[in-house]
A and B are shown apart, each in its own frame.
Chain A
Amino acid sequence: MPSTVVAAVLEADAAVIAAERENAAVLAKSITIDNLNGGGDRVIQIQDVFTPAVTEGEAGPIEHEVDRFKYTALAGDQITLGEDELKGVKCLGAMKVYSDVADASCFITVGYEHE
């Protein structure tokens, strides 16, 4: 299972965990939020970024950003969530992660798989 570690960044700069793969969705398998040295509580979200196909109802689809998971990591804390807690967290396009506050001392590690 591949994983990526990123520092907490704002939504505008959301960090890519896994790029979109045409023939698969991305499943979140684990997430570790290391906020031991963070500057305060951080709200971490997993975001799904994709552009739908042209359909009967939408001839000119635009890019969508859908939040799939949200967790508040308390300052001075470190939390790991596994497959059970992340069940159903699936990104159809690219999987990204962002925080409510940019914090270079708050680290997020996400393990994922393509389905």
Chain B
Amino acid sequence: MLELQPKPQFSVVIPPKLLQEGYLVTFSSDWPSTHVAIREKTFRIDAVNQVPYDLSYIIPAGDYRDVDFANGSGTFKENIYPENQSSLFEVLLGFKPGNFISHWYVPAGKSVHNLEYAQMYPDLTDAKRKYLGARQPKDSPYDDPRIKLYFVKDLAPIIMRLYVLAGVDFEKIVTGLTINKCLMREITLPTEDQKLKAKVIRYYDYLRW
């Protein structure tokens, strides 16, 4: 028997998870005026460098810790933000399995996962609403992270609240980060084609309308 494999009519190309050298990014108009250096501007990525980094915390059941990715000297600051205007940090974040959930706030105290009815916001003191908007370890596994964040200089603090659920005495929460450091160069007069091809990075407020 002789079998001739037919030529495939199409192929599926899976795009890379992270920004690459030569990629274009545009910061949308909803960025606040404090970010005038990047707001409504288009940049070319001139260089990238992936930096892996693990964060871990042992937390008792029923308690939480706020992880602040911003720079500073406070106990909860993790100093992940860039210090240069020309840097964009694209961060992939995944969790090792465990008995915990995470809630997200930008800035501190402002949840990004409220619903529209009154009091429908994440509340760790409420038996039901502690799960509202909660991201679990399986939502973004350590080896296949799905949570992506973009950090620029002087960005408002992004807070990840890690809460250990009942059922264990303590839990060790291990968070794996891949920080894709991107060196940006502004394209002062982007063409329409460049604008179309650029990845649009929106401000976090767009998640709350």
Decide whether A and B assemble into one complex.
yes
B192 CB-CB contact with A under 8 Å? no
Measured in the bound complex, the distance between the Cα atoms of B173 and A53 in whole Å is 10
Q: Digitize B31-62: 1 where CB-to-A-CB distance is under 8 Å, 0 elsewhere.
A: 00000000000000000000000101111101
Tally of contact residues, A, Cβ under 8 A: 18
Tally of contact residues, B, Cβ under 8 A: 20
Measured in the bound complex, the distance between the Cα atoms of B118 and A89 in whole Å is 44
Q: State the total of A-B contacts with C-beta under 8 angstroms.
A: 49
Measured in the bound complex, the distance between the Cα atoms of B169 and A52 in whole Å is 11
B186 CB-CB contact with A under 8 Å? no
Known A53-B58, A54-B75, A92-B58; judge A24-B174 contact (CB<8 A).
yes
State the main secondary structure of chain A at its contact with B.
Answer: loop
B69 CB-CB contact with A under 8 Å? no
- Other-chain contact of A53, B57, B169, B176 (Cβ < 8 Å): B57
A66 CB-CB contact with B under 8 Å? yes
Looking at the assembled complex, report how far the CB atom of A102 sits from the nearest CB atom of chain B, in whole angstroms. Answer: 28
Which residue of chain A is the closest to B171 with respect to CB atoms? Answer: A92
Measured in the bound complex, the distance between the Cα atoms of B57 and A66 in whole Å is 17
B-to-A contact residues, CB < 8 Å: 54, 56-60, 62-66, 75-76, 96, 169-172, 174, 176
